[in-house]
Chains A and B, each alone.
Chain A
Amino acid sequence: MIWLTWRQFRTPALVAAAALVIALAFMAVTGSRLAHDYTTLGLSSCAAGHEAQVGTLSCGDLQRKFLGYYPALRLLGPLLLFVPALIGAFWGAPLIARELEAGTQRLAWVQSVTRTRWLGIKLAVIGAVGVGLTALLSLAITWWSGPFDRLNGRMSPEAFAQRGLVPLAYAAFAFALGAAVGAVIHRTLPAMAAALGGFVLVRIGVQWLRPRLVNPLELSYPTFTFMGDEPPGRMASEHGWVLSTRTLDSAGHVLSSGGTVRDDVVIRLCHRNIADITKFDLDACGRELGLHNVVRVIPPDRFWVLQAWEAAIFGGLALVLVGFTFWWVRRRIG
């Protein structure tokens, strides 16, 4: 049975292995350059909270320069977001649907192996390969993105979905979902589409749920401080997941929910008659109005709590779907 599973799965497995090798080779080449540039640009001291030690550029300039270097980031960034969806559509959905569509279950299910065992081995072998592949890719991407993570943290939705446990849970869920819809729909192409659509919907739904699973931190600091010292706790928002940034005045009126207030708005609020714009003290005006930013952020130390939550949600859904698929194949087909 394991041989048959492997024999039927051989071609898609080899295609996936080839793609994996290409991706790993690409990461190996660009990743070591990335790490090297990170060090030579002096960004490691920026990440440690000091000013840049190389040249005259500020840390912000260096970061922008570094991030701008790498179109590879845009290429590799979303890779692991797609992999579970592809596993669900191309490995999960056809698993049962293709047999039913071609009528070959009339061959497979009359051998001396029960349907339950047939399904159990297929799900276990291909599911394990899918999760293993995702894990390998996730480890590689985590290493590769090390410099970016040190600059930006790993809490942003894109980074969060590619680190730690959650990619594995996504892959397990997508695969189980594909198998289940394939068993119900009986046709390969519609099942693939449904598996893809269903996975994307659930992912979006859980991503919406994610910031609601833990209490976000609310940080407040004066708006016009960019020239002065970093306010305490400001760094927490740097590597965290910023949910919203609002600018309020002392009365609590929201002036902006984008994090920046246009200069002319501030000037108008101060009721100054501006004869000479160059002499206008924007900072003083801001202090007078009591302008402050309120940032709602999920701090980076919640990373593993959220990872555990999300892995449990998707892992649980995957188990439910596997149970459903067994029930459906045993009881409802035929």
Chain B
Amino acid sequence: MTAAIEATGLGKRYGRRRWALRDCTLSVPAGRVVGLVGANGAGKSTLLHLAVGLLRPTAGGIAVLGAPPAAGPAQLARVSFVAQDAPLYPGLSVADHLRLGRGLNPGWDDGIATDRIDRLGLDRDQPAGRLSGGQRAQLALTLAVAKRPELLILDEPASSLDPLARREFLAGLMEAVADQELTVVLSSHLLGDVERVCDHLVVLDGGRVRLAGDVEDLLAAHHLLTGPRRDVRRLPASQRVVQASHTERQTTLLVRTEEPILDPAWTEAAVGLEDLVLAYMAPETAPEIAEVAG
């Protein structure tokens, strides 16, 4: 199966010096809901804009569903994009936006669009400029899914919304995913959202991939160990320390290993997704790029 997004040595530089993304090599599998996480300025937006062809790479290459981004109308039709803050034309009404979507997309499904607008209770004659943030995001999502893409890309879709609107938005998104068998790639710095909807994770930091893999596998492979203070260099070779902290008597480790922890001196605790991601994003302990197969 072709990857949803396949990047090799991808880089984007603004101006002469500032690299927003550098030497990024990653493969985002199709058929998943992929969370792209990272601190602000990590290069998430840049990567997604490159994937939809709004930006052009400075270095390296990127293929989306096996083809160059925005290569032609057919490729454009396969990918939907909801940009940050859900850009819409403020003077155009909800109905105008639907007409825009219908006119510009041969695969447009009016049933999906009207259905969603009705359920959201949006007034069709209302100009988009007067909609609330949540309604705007929902309208943008409606345009994106009614286009019936194979891949739906969302850039920070819910981060400016209040908690209730955010929950509704994500529910709407998951519904669309279930109905249409979409591949979804969404960027977010809200780990709670990612944990709720994503089954695959890519952690970007400083324009580079720090961690990538299925959420389940990642959680199963990481262990939080607490025990008497000891030298981390004397751990078994199969265990890689992601993060270590020591007190006078005690050592706490975040360890990555495919094998079970056998040493009885450790107390083992489950790792939450948030702790895991933060450990990989923390600059002082950031390990080399790690990948989990699968």
Contacts and interface: CB of A to CB of B under 8 A. Distances in A.
Interface of A: 1, 3-4, 7-8, 11, 102-107, 109-115, 117, 331, 334
B83 interface: yes
Contacts of B101: 111
A11 B55 CA distance: 31
Contacts of A334: 49, 53-56
A8 B128 CA distance: 13
B87 A106 contact: yes
Nearest to B49: A334
Interface in B107-121: 107
A334 B101 CA distance: 23
Interface string B77-118: 101110101011111100010011101111100000000000
B105 A112 contact: yes
Contacts of B55: 334
A113 B49 contact: no
B79 A110 contact: yes
A110 B149 CA distance: 11
Contacts of B76: 110-114
Contacts of A113: 73, 76, 104
Interface of B: 49, 52-56, 70, 72-74, 76-77, 79-81, 83, 85, 87-92, 96, 99-101, 103-107, 140, 143, 147
Contact of A103 (B70, B85, B103, B104): B85
B18 to A, nearest CB: 16
B87 A4 contact: no
A53 to B, nearest CB: 61
- Chain A interface SS verdict (over half): helix
Contacts of B100: 3-4, 7, 111
A112 B106 contact: yes
A4 B103 CA distance: 8
A107 B86 CA distance: 8
Given A112-B106, A334-B53, 16 more contacts: A1-B104, A3-B99, A4-B104, A8-B92, A103-B87, A106-B49, A106-B54, A107-B89, A107-B140, A109-B54, A109-B70, A110-B79, A110-B83, A111-B104, A114-B73, A334-B56
Contacts of B53: 109-110, 334
B183 to A, nearest CB: 16
27 contacts: A1-B103, A4-B100, A4-B104, A7-B92, A7-B100, A11-B91, A105-B54, A107-B83, A107-B89, A107-B140, A109-B70, A110-B76, A110-B79, A111-B104, A111-B147, A112-B73, A112-B74, A112-B105, A113-B76, A113-B104, A114-B72, A114-B73, A114-B76, A117-B73, A334-B49, A334-B53, A334-B56
Nearest to B140: A107
Nearest to B55: A334
Per CB-CB distance, the 6 closest pairs between chain A and chain B, nearest first, are A106-B83, A111-B104, A112-B77, A110-B81, A334-B55, A112-B105
Most chain A CB within a 10 A radius of its CB, from B103, B105, B106, B140:
B103
A7 B56 CA distance: 30
Most chain A CB within a 10 A radius of its CB, from B99, B104, B106, B143:
B104
Contacts of B99: 3, 7
B66 to A, nearest CB: 18
A172 B72 CA distance: 29
A50 B127 CA distance: 67
B107 A112 contact: yes
A172 B88 CA distance: 30
A173 B79 CA distance: 37
A103 B88 CA distance: 9
A107 B87 contact: yes
B88 A110 contact: no
Contacts of B89: 8, 104, 107
Contacts of A106: 49, 54, 81, 83, 87
B147 A112 contact: yes
Contact of B70 (A1, A102, A107, A114): A114
A114 B75 CA distance: 10
